[in-house]
Amino acid sequence: MTRSAGMAVFAALIVMGAGYFLQLGLGRTVAPSEFAFLQETLAFYMMATLPLQPVGAVVTKQSARNEDQFWNEVTRPSAIALAMVVVLVVFVWAGRSSASDWDASTLLLFALSVMTAVAFLITNSLAVGHLDFLGSTIIQTMQASVRVALALPLVWWGTGARGLWCATAIANGTAALCARWRLGGTKPTSKALPPAGGPIRRDFAIAVCCYVGIAVLTQIDLVYARRSFPEVTTYAGAALLGKFVFYLPAAASIVVLPMLVRVETRADGARLMKKAMAVVGGFSLLCLAGVAVFGEWLAGRVLGPEYARSGTYITTSGWAMLPYPLVNLLASASLRAGRVRLAISSLAAAILAAAVAGSGAVSLRGLAALLVVLGGALVIIAWFDTENVSG
């Protein structure tokens, strides 16, 4: 990886740290049962926005090939600014009373936060596609900083989930506007690129299936715990630490897709993927060891005494997340090469996990075991497809 790519990975880790700081701050502010609701809304946000990752992946690929005029048109600054105004109007109209469930104003602000996330995702992907990793660092850091700076005071003030989603929407819009300003000076590369892996519709279909699957498989435990085991109020905080095993290593794959698009030979692609898989896989194991040894100690100190005995749940969540950084990485390779095997398998695995969770037939450990098996199967399926994917 280039030095700038390494900087982008490091910046992604910093941004992720800001997200964890926000959630830890929320965990210290509200009771475990209220925090479980906030975590459930965050899980639904992940499930809503990860299907947008196909847009980001396709934009990154097209931006790397200087075919991004359409995406510049759909993220005009005037439209982004209008969305932010609507967010503020809805938030002021809803008032200060705390929301502990999915009321109408919470749902509306949630929807607006997803809409602004589209603009943020597209503009950041344009920067990544142009290998402007410094610009991506600025954009992501701004989004994370504004979100933390607004969300914690609003929740402390008593606005509950509405404050969280108002802050998220404003942060998304602010970062998107910054990105548009940054992209205004971007010049296309003059270097010819290798042929594209496939038409945009196929790219989008592949990425949708991959990232929808990843979204469901990495977030469904939070929804399952709150709805099937409401007495386990500390699971949400425990899973927050356990999911380090997914989020931290997954950040290392942020630069892989635009670099894969630019490789000129199959051998170069294979070498890049082997290096990336070694880094991401090793980092996943290191994170799992860390949360298994220090997770309970950390939970009791940063989240409060209610979480001091949640070590079992932390380890359970960590094991469940272990294969998914590699699945996330291999999804980029599948998109680059226009391969559908991992995409179809990811979607099928998500449907199976959702069906099991909907039946309520297994314990939390049973669901975690199922997620590990499904994730491992996806890695194996993608591994056998490596020769074609890397080319």
Joined tokens for residue 332: 């980029």
Examine residue 51 and state whether it is found in any structural domain, yes or no: no
Residues 227, 271, single domain; the answer is yes
Residues 349, 246, single domain; the answer is yes
Examine residue 300 and state whether it is found in any structural domain, yes or no: yes
Joined tokens for residue 271: 């070498």
CB contact set of 301 (below 8 Å; sequence gap of 6+)? none
Joined tokens for residue 360: 């309520």
Contact (CB, 8 A) for 239 and 225: yes
Examine residue 124 and state whether it is found in any structural domain, yes or no: yes
Q: Which of 141, 175, 192 is the last residue of a domain?
A: 192
Separation between Cα atoms, residue 29 and residue 79, nearest integer Å: 35
Separation between Cα atoms, residue 116 and residue 130, nearest integer Å: 22
Alpha-carbon distances of 37 from 58, 177, 217, rounded to whole Å: 33, 31, 19
Using H for helix, E for strand and C for coil, what is the string for 105-119?
A: HHHHHHHHHHHHHHH
Contact (CB, 8 A) for 199 and 207: no
Joined tokens for residue 221: 């435990």
N-to-C CA span, the chain: 18
Residues 306, 227, single domain; the answer is yes
pLDDT in tens, the chain (391 residues): 455 555 566 666 677 777 778 887 888 777 787 888 888 888 888 878 876 766 776 777 677 666 667 777 778 888 899 999 999 999 888 876 555 678 888 889 999 999 999 889 888 888 777 666 777 778 888 888 899 899 989 888 888 888 899 999 999 999 999 888 877 755 544 444 444 444 667 777 887 888 889 989 999 999 899 888 988 888 988 888 898 899 878 776 666 655 665 555 566 666 777 777 888 888 899 999 999 999 999 888 888 888 888 889 999 999 999 999 999 888 877 766 677 888 899 999 999 999 999 988 899 999 999 999 999 999 999 877 755 544 4
Residues 159, 241, single domain; the answer is no
Residues 319, 175, single domain; the answer is no
Residues 176, 201, single domain; the answer is no
Examine residue 91 and state whether it is found in any structural domain, yes or no: yes
**What pLDDT is stored for residue 363 in this prediction?**
93
**What pLDDT is stored for residue 389 in this prediction?**
42
Separation between Cα atoms, residue 88 and residue 163, nearest integer Å: 11
Joined tokens for residue 184: 């205004």
Start-end of H helices in the chain: 3-29, 32-49, 53-64, 69-74, 77-94, 104-129, 133-157, 160-183, 200-228, 235-242, 244-251, 256-262, 266-302, 311-321, 324-337, 341-359, 364-384, 386-389
Q: Which of 192, 225, 249 is the last residue of a domain?
A: 192
**What pLDDT is stored for residue 260 in this prediction?**
61
Examine residue 171 and state whether it is found in any structural domain, yes or no: yes
DSSP state, 196? P
Contact (CB, 8 A) for 325 and 283: yes
Count of the separate structural domains present in the chain: 2
Angle at 290 (CA atoms; ends 289, 296), nearest 5 degrees = 110
Q: What residue numbers bound the domain in which 333 lies?
A: 194-391
Residues 188, 271, single domain; the answer is no
Examine residue 45 and state whether it is found in any structural domain, yes or no: no
Q: Which of 171, 192, 213 is the last residue of a domain?
A: 192
Residues 152, 226, single domain; the answer is no
Separation between Cα atoms, residue 106 and residue 111, nearest integer Å: 9
Examine residue 350 and state whether it is found in any structural domain, yes or no: yes
Examine residue 259 and state whether it is found in any structural domain, yes or no: yes
Residues 326, 370, single domain; the answer is yes
Residues 99, 225, single domain; the answer is no
Using H for helix, E for strand and C for coil, what is the string for 129-195?
A: HCCCHHHHHHHHHHHHHHHHHHHHHHHHHCCHHHHHHHHHHHHHHHHHHHHHHHHCCCCCCCCCCCC
For residue 209, count other CB atoms closer than 10 A to its CB: 23
Q: What angle separates helix 235-242 from helix 311-321, to the nearest 10 degrees?
A: 50
Residues 145, 184, single domain; the answer is yes
How far out from the chain centre does Cα 9 lie?
A: 14
Residues 136, 201, single domain; the answer is no
